[in-house]
Structure 1
Amino acid sequence: MKRLQRRARKSRADKTSSAILAIAVIFCGGWISAPSAQAFELFGFRFFEGDKPEVVNEVPDPLPYAATLTVSGGDKDLEKALMETSQLIQQQDTPPSGSPGLISRALGDQQQLIALLYVKGLYGGTVNIDIAGKPLQAAVEAGEVNRRAGTPVPVVIHVMTGPQFHFGTVSIRQLASDGTPAATLDPTNYGLVPGAPALSDKILQAESRIVADLKDQGYPLAKIADRSVIADHASNRLDVTISANPGSAATFGHITVQGQKKTKTDFIIRQAEIEPGSRYDPAILRRAAKRLRDLGIFASVRVIEADRLDSAGNLPITIEVAERKRHVIGGGGTISSVDGIGLEAYWRHRNLFGAGETLSLEGSVGRIVNGDYGDMEYSTQVVFTKPGVFGPTTSFSATVGAKRENPEAYESRAVFGSMKLTNRPTDKLTYAVGTEFEYSRETDVLGPNHYALFGVFGDIAYDSRDNILNPTRGLRATFHAEPAYDAETGGFMAFTKASLSTYWSFNGSDRFVLANRIAGGSILTPSLSDVAPSRRYYVGGGGSVRGYAYRNVGPRVSGEVIGGRSFFETSTEIRTRITESFGAVGFVDAGAAYSSQFPDFSEELKVGVGVGLRYFSPIGPLRLDVAVPLAPDKDDPDFAIYVGLSQAF
């Protein structure tokens, strides 16, 4: 009767509001005292910005002026770039201090604008500035500009662009230790192609890549020894000669750690995995810095190379860290027109024993609907993690907890625990093995039952996405397998699940992205009733088939969803970035859960379609999706609204 009453309440809520709108708020702070928050801007408003005293800097003898800029050639894009670069144009509302201040600003402007012309390959261009009707040089020699009381000083910037230059002869030489040429490098490998527009940035980028390549070959002190750039104004060609000095090949030397307080020095060195005496490789230093940051116990990590080799020809390395506060509390909440209010909180102790360990106490309550606490969901758990148990890429975690789940399909009370070893050998590959147990009392439309599940599982994931929150290229693939035994029902079973998400940018541009996801799973067991309702597969809702109610797609008994032994889901999204801040999405989701051990594709898939809006905030894309189910069933809404952070998948 209680479950029927709850379903009747839900049905009335669906009639009143056919969409479920959830708003999540996350709060993090320090234990006893919190660090200053960093400000960011969202929809034109600034958040987490503390009170700042007003600073008033009065400029002595302010000299107002009015600046204009003229550009030959009619290139509007170039004119816009020059306007944005010119401090005389951009800072007209901030008058300089007297004649010296205006002259100084004009001199700096002249250099910046000429540099911009070089960036565009316009080496014959000129920048002339007139102040109060006289050339800038005359003002420099006089040390004064003509000024009329109450009238801004007129400043006119004349830019003659000149012809576009192209690369002529390009030579890149690698020097020996005595400074003599030892090898010649192919300039086209570094973007310096004879006949191409001679943009100055291409020269600087080529030099950076040359030095990076030499460092990758084991030369930590590589540098550009000389650069010769000759502009031939008769032929509009730019001849370039670059000489690179690799210095001496080296191995890693002594490792020094600075800034640590609670963290053990040998743990930091072990996690960094920089082996003294091994060949110098900057990739090793980058991995070391990332691995230390991923521990979550440091506010900052810097791996610093010495600027010279030691007497043995080794390169000393300094690891500089700043530790985060060791205690943190946090909380969050959700509100739904159907499921009511949900609250969650945690307390976390970082760096428990000085080797990156973390102890977390977590709790949550949910489904607080209209003041009725009888249908609440709750959970509490303790999680301990320890990195570096079998080398720097391996971590251990243990969890124990209790929970009550109360979705529409079933009711469950359970205690659970797990232990897991995770290894991340590369930035893209992660795998884990572990064991878990769960004892539960569960009730669904098939009746009440007790379950005592013991399982051993393995997970593997490959992730090459360019951005976790807003991927535009790459893929993510996961696989989970878990043989298990239920001591209460006496049944053996095996859980399997796999997913693949791919991302493809049209024409290599992030403006249009095609995103696809496919997922499926199977529970190998003779009978569905041997599987606890909470462990069966359900489809529907956000992160699954949008438009349908959460976990409301699957096999039914007496009109009620009971979950399945297999499932299949697929989603396709076309993501368009309209402006720098806003984007739009069109999507189609489809899926079903099946009573059979493997997906039965002869059965109809449930399909949901919709559109979405994205706001690209500093913390990631904010998502608003509206989805419509094409074949709604009992308890499904007419449409659903989803709000969240990051893309849907």
Structure 2
Amino acid sequence: MLSFTTLPAHSFEIFGWSPFGSSDEEEEGEAVPDPTPYEAELSTTNGGEELSKDLKSASLLIQQQDKPPSGEAGLIARALSDRERLVAKLYADGRYGGTVDISLAGIPLETALEQSDLPDTRPVKVSILVNPGPEFTFGKVTISSNGGDLSTDPSFWGLEPGELAASGKILTAENRIVSVLRGRGYPKAKIAERRITADHSVNKLDVALVADAGPQARFGTVSVSGTEVTDPNFVIQQAMLPQGGIYSPEDIARARRRLNELGIFSSIRFVEGDIAGPDGTLPIMIEVSERKRHVIGAGASWSSIEGFGVEAYWRRRNLFGRGELLSVEGSIGRIGTESLENQEYSARIAFEKPGVFGPLTSFSTSLGARQENPDAYKSRSITFDAYLNRQFSEQLKGRAGAEVFYANEEDAFGNDDYLLVGLPADLTFDNRDDKLNPSKGVFAALFAEPAYDTLNSNAMGFMKGTVSSYYALDEAKRFILAGKASAGSILAPSVEAVPASRRFIAGGGGSIRGYAYRNVGPRVDGEVVGGRSLVELSGEVRIRMTETIGVVGFVDAGNAYEDSIPDFSESLKVGVGAGLRYFTPIGPLRIDAAVPLDPGPNDPDFALYVGLSQAF
């Protein structure tokens, strides 16, 4: 029977990759002085092919043969480190009776370490012989804590007696114990003692874990360091750590997210001080590093129908030292499909100030001008808006404000001017795991705006809702089903009373792929004029073939209708297609090809789309 006791500081020497010997040798660097080439072979006495493969993957001697160490001492150091790693790998597989024997040029590692001299033959022959030994199962497992009222049931912590005694399970249990104690307000919680006994006569591993909760703490004073332009009081305000409240890692995680969302810091670190005073107050230091204040960016897209589109922006972060953001944006669309004067243009200047009525509320305003020129109409417009934005929770946010919209538009009804004054509001729920490439979660958005056209004395109301959802069919998230549904309605005296650019018209890359951009909807004299209601549906099957390549099959359907309520007696327009995805660090590059099943006037036989991120 073998028994040993370890303290937390040594946990990775027994139950993980050992740091022993892993120094300059294992890091890439410039030319190594006195390189010592070697040839390594690893063999196992039993344990199966899969275990042998895993051991070779864990072995530095095997994996780094093309990186000779410095001198014989470097080779010996690498071998010592390798032995620790291989023993740790055996422990990870629940094998506590295994042995690892390494010889260098036929000399056992211990002998080579004593004499520090190897024969001159190069490359040095390195032999690694692993006897994995039997698999151990958990025997007696006890969990206890000095404070904190922890569960003593081993199965609660994943240490079920009779199950495979993998070392990773013990580390996971320890991390969970500490996490639970910290979550109950004990920031200094730790594993005070780990006692492990391996009984080789019955291949059982007895485990005793003793936790020390330490004192319960309350949030104390919050201070800030590292700011250059930012007002430290603003950082404290946005962090929203509840001074005097029971310590909670979740409060710190939420504070970190709120500060990250400001976009003004490149790094954020919360440093916990010492617990002091009769109330057990814990001071918190927020260490930040500010990002560059000026940002310039650009993007591009292309489809065979809409041509090229380019956009660029300039941003000034932290304008007055309290997270303010000033943006100037511009874009040009339909390049290559229209003459210069008929291309689509937009320009916008926007300002946002966080923390106007508390940390969760911000103010934003913008002034924009644009020219739109789809086949259905030509619109020149100017928009001014102002919003109060509110973050209700991590997933739910909303905004409400006022808007002034002027447009001069030409369409099948003629040339008209509109001046709308409206009160827009929207609500967004988003719990997707990845905004650019989601595999689970839901995105839902609801928009509503009552408006009045002061030039034509018409009242109207705009409403639209969108929801998309994602479901992974396997744990590796290589097979994903994605669906999206949108519906909208405009309450207005007639279609003509609504500005053409605000009417519902379907078709194009963000709508029904395969059809011409904004070319699906009610027509007058053969020309699309748009409608007062809309329905759009999309479904995709996303398959990740490799780490960088994926394929997609999709179906889009939808239509726009003349009345404010969709007339489902009219059939939906359907487009089908397939796409290729190239996964990059900033999101998937998307290439889609689509075919319209019921093409109308000006619709193509097929369409290609290129962009960044998934279609939805």
Q: TM-score, normalised by structure 1?
A: 0.87
Which residue in the other structure is 2:21 paired with?
none
CA 1:553 to 1:338, structure 2 compared with 1: closer, same or farther past 3 Å?
closer
Cα distance in 1 for partners of 2:208, 2:241 equals 36
Cα distance in 2 for partners of 1:129, 1:497 equals 69
Give the alignment of 1:150-229 within 5 angstroms. Answer: 151-176=122-147, 184-229=151-196
Which amino acid in the other structure matches residue 165 of structure 1? F
Cα distance in 1 for partners of 2:397, 2:291 equals 26
Give the alignment of 1:320-359 within 5 angstroms. Answer: 320-334=287-301, 339-359=306-326
Q: Secondary structure at the match of 2:57?
A: helix
1:57 aligns with 2:44: no
Cα distance in 2 for partners of 1:620, 1:646 equals 5
Displacement of 1:414: 1.5
CA 1:307 to 1:117, structure 2 compared with 1: closer, same or farther past 3 Å?
farther
**Alpha-carbon contact 1:127-1:159 (below 8 Å) kept:** yes
Which residue in the other structure is 1:511 paired with?
478
Which amino acid in the other structure matches residue 33 of structure 2? V
Displacement of 1:370: 7.6
Which amino acid in the other structure matches residue 207 of structure 2? V
Give the alignment of 1:367-378 within 5 angstroms. Answer: 367-369=334-336, 372-378=339-345
CA 1:623 to 1:352, structure 2 compared with 1: closer, same or farther past 3 Å?
same
Which residue in the other structure is 1:97 paired with?
70
Displacement of 1:146: 2.4
Displacement of 1:528: 0.9
1:146 aligns with 2:113: no
Match of 2:100 among 102, 117, 127: 127
**Alpha-carbon contact 2:217-2:279 (below 8 Å) kept:** no
Which residue in the other structure is 1:601 paired with?
568
Q: Mean Cα displacement is larger for which, 77-86 or 159-168?
A: 77-86
Q: Secondary structure at the match of 1:392?
A: coil
CA 1:519 to 1:396, structure 2 compared with 1: closer, same or farther past 3 Å?
same
Which residue in the other structure is 1:563 paired with?
530
Match of 2:348 among 352, 374, 381: 381
1:121-170 per-residue CA deviation (whole Å, 9 max, x = no partner) reads: 1111111112112221222222222232xx31111100111111111221
1:388-432 per-residue CA deviation (whole Å, 9 max, x = no partner) reads: 111111111001122221111111111110011111121111111
Which residue in the other structure is 2:431 paired with?
464
Give the alignment of 1:198-347 within 5 angstroms. Answer: 198-309=165-276, 313-334=280-301, 339-347=306-314
**Alpha-carbon contact 1:368-1:375 (below 8 Å) kept:** no
Displacement of 1:337: 5.2
Cα distance in 2 for partners of 1:98, 1:364 equals 60
Which amino acid in the other structure matches residue 394 of structure 2? D
Q: Secondary structure at the match of 2:244?
A: coil
Displacement of 1:508: 4.2
Name which structure has the greater RCO, CA cutoff 8 Å, separation 6+: 1
Which residue in the other structure is 1:407 paired with?
374
1:488 aligns with 2:486: no
**Alpha-carbon contact 2:303-2:609 (below 8 Å) kept:** no
Q: Secondary structure at the match of 2:341?
A: coil
Cα distance in 2 for partners of 1:136, 1:508 equals 42
CA 1:472 to 1:479, structure 2 compared with 1: closer, same or farther past 3 Å?
same
Q: Secondary structure at the match of 1:185?
A: coil
**Alpha-carbon contact 2:47-2:132 (below 8 Å) kept:** no
CA 1:78 to 1:509, structure 2 compared with 1: closer, same or farther past 3 Å?
same
Give the alignment of 1:75-114 within 5 angstroms. Answer: 75-114=48-87
Q: Mean Cα displacement is larger for which, 379-388 or 306-315?
A: 306-315
Displacement of 1:450: 1.1
Cα distance in 1 for partners of 2:165, 2:347 equals 64
Q: Mean Cα displacement is larger for which, 370-379 or 499-508?
A: 370-379
**Alpha-carbon contact 1:174-1:184 (below 8 Å) kept:** no
CA 1:241 to 1:74, structure 2 compared with 1: closer, same or farther past 3 Å?
closer
Q: Secondary structure at the match of 2:80?
A: helix
CA 1:183 to 1:638, structure 2 compared with 1: closer, same or farther past 3 Å?
closer
Q: Mean Cα displacement is larger for which, 252-261 or 137-146?
A: 137-146
1:278-322 per-residue CA deviation (whole Å, 9 max, x = no partner) reads: 111111111111111111111211122125446752111011111
Which amino acid in the other structure matches residue 116 of structure 2? G
**Alpha-carbon contact 1:387-1:396 (below 8 Å) kept:** yes
1:535 aligns with 2:535: no
Cα distance in 1 for partners of 2:520, 2:444 equals 24
**Alpha-carbon contact 1:210-1:244 (below 8 Å) kept:** yes
CA 1:184 to 1:473, structure 2 compared with 1: closer, same or farther past 3 Å?
closer
Cα distance in 2 for partners of 1:621, 1:78 equals 35
Which residue in the other structure is 1:548 paired with?
515
Cα distance in 1 for partners of 2:501, 2:106 equals 83
Q: Secondary structure at the match of 1:279?
A: coil
Which amino acid in the other structure matches residue 546 of structure 1? R
Cα distance in 1 for partners of 2:262, 2:566 equals 40
Displacement of 1:208: 0.7
**Alpha-carbon contact 1:310-1:316 (below 8 Å) kept:** no
Size of the alignment, in residue pairs? 589
**Alpha-carbon contact 2:305-2:517 (below 8 Å) kept:** no
CA 1:377 to 1:185, structure 2 compared with 1: closer, same or farther past 3 Å?
same
Which amino acid in the other structure matches residue 486 of structure 1? D
**Alpha-carbon contact 1:132-1:147 (below 8 Å) kept:** no
Identical amino acids, percent of aligned pairs: 52
Which amino acid in the other structure matches residue 84 of structure 1? S
Displacement of 1:643: 1.5
Cα distance in 2 for partners of 1:155, 1:291 equals 53
RMSD, aligned CA: 1.9
Q: Secondary structure at the match of 2:321?
A: coil
Cα distance in 1 for partners of 2:29, 2:182 equals 45
CA 1:184 to 1:410, structure 2 compared with 1: closer, same or farther past 3 Å?
closer
Cα distance in 2 for partners of 1:55, 1:227 equals 38
Q: Secondary structure at the match of 1:479?
A: strand
Which amino acid in the other structure matches residue 130 of structure 1? S
**Alpha-carbon contact 2:143-2:152 (below 8 Å) kept:** yes
**Alpha-carbon contact 2:97-2:200 (below 8 Å) kept:** yes
1:630 aligns with 2:601: no
Cα distance in 2 for partners of 1:203, 1:120 equals 12
Displacement of 1:578: 1.8
Cα distance in 2 for partners of 1:91, 1:593 equals 62
CA 1:64 to 1:327, structure 2 compared with 1: closer, same or farther past 3 Å?
closer
Q: Secondary structure at the match of 2:469?
A: strand
Q: Secondary structure at the match of 2:112?
A: helix
Displacement of 1:628: 1.0
The unaligned stretches of length 5 or more in structure 2 are: 1-27
Cα distance in 2 for partners of 1:580, 1:329 equals 30
Cα distance in 2 for partners of 1:389, 1:614 equals 41
Q: Secondary structure at the match of 1:423?
A: strand
